[in-house]
Amino acid sequence: MDPPSGFILWFTGMSGAGKSTLSTAVRRRLEGGHSVEVLDGDEVRTFLSRGLGFTRPDREENIRRIGYVARVLARHRVAVISAAISPYRESRNEVRRLATEAGIPFIEVYAQASLEALVQRDVKGLYKKALAGEIPHFTGISDPYEPPESPEVTVRTDSESVEAGVERILAALLERGLTAQR
């Protein structure tokens, strides 16, 4: 039996929307049937994109780097889970296009939550500071966040349980023949 094919599962959403929570839960469910790697936005900024700021060109370069690493891993039959804000639609579409051109399945998951829910969840108080003008270039407040136009899965993390979201993500993978697990 051939090992499962690699793919890219790309989580996007504003800070605190639940990308890391969902990606961790999906990783747990995929392990055993797949080789799985998670490219978490915060970790990538520490180890792969150190020195990049939060200007649009720097954010786009960060996403290009994540996309490149994701493609390299997926070519080697790894299930790659990226959990990065990736605020610009154009950058996400470029990552999708390059993956598709390389024959790598790309599934976009939009972790969506209302601004009110994000502010309530924010234990560090970053949203309150950003809303007060104390943090420049804060995605969704003083910098744009462009929601995906047609993600394969949208999880309303302010009204849907993590488990329900994970089940829908796994169903999308199963539907595409990328996993046998549910």
Is 106 within a domain?
yes
What is the tens place of the pLDDT at every residue in 126-177? Answer: 999 999 999 988 999 989 999 999 999 999 999 999 999 999 999 999 999 9
Kindly report the CATH number assigned to the domain that includes residue 60: 3.40.50.300
Is position 1 annotated in a ligand binding site? no
Q: Supply the DSSP symbol for 139.
A: B
Is 37 within a domain?
yes
Is position 140 annotated in a ligand binding site? no
Specify the pLDDT at position 181: 52
Specify the pLDDT at position 4: 62
- CA of residue 22 relative to chain centroid, distance: 9
Q: Cα-Cα-Cα-Cα dihedral of 97, 66, 106, 118, to 10°?
A: -110
Residue 132 is inside which H or E element, if any? none
Measured CA to CA, the distance from residue 4 to residue 180 in angstroms comes to 9
What is the tens place of the pLDDT at every residue in 23-35? Answer: 999 999 999 888 9
What is the tens place of the pLDDT at every residue in 61-103? Answer: 999 999 999 999 999 999 999 999 999 999 999 999 999 999 9
Is 127 within a domain?
no
Is 87 within a domain?
yes
Measured CA to CA, the distance from residue 18 to residue 27 in angstroms comes to 14
**Average pLDDT over every residue of 50-65:** 87
Specify the pLDDT at position 52: 84
Is 136 within a domain?
no
**Which residues are 139's β-sheet partners?**
143
Is 68 within a domain?
yes
pTM recorded for the entire structure: 0.92
Reply yes or no on whether 161 is catalytic: no
Is position 5 annotated in a ligand binding site? no
Q: Which domain holds residue 28?
A: 7-114+145-175
Active-site choice (86, 91, 142, 150): 86
Specify the pLDDT at position 1: 44
Is position 14 annotated in a ligand binding site? yes
Is position 13 annotated in a ligand binding site? yes
Is 128 within a domain?
no
Total tally of structural domains belonging to the chain: 1
Is 133 within a domain?
no
Q: Which amino acid is at 15?
A: S
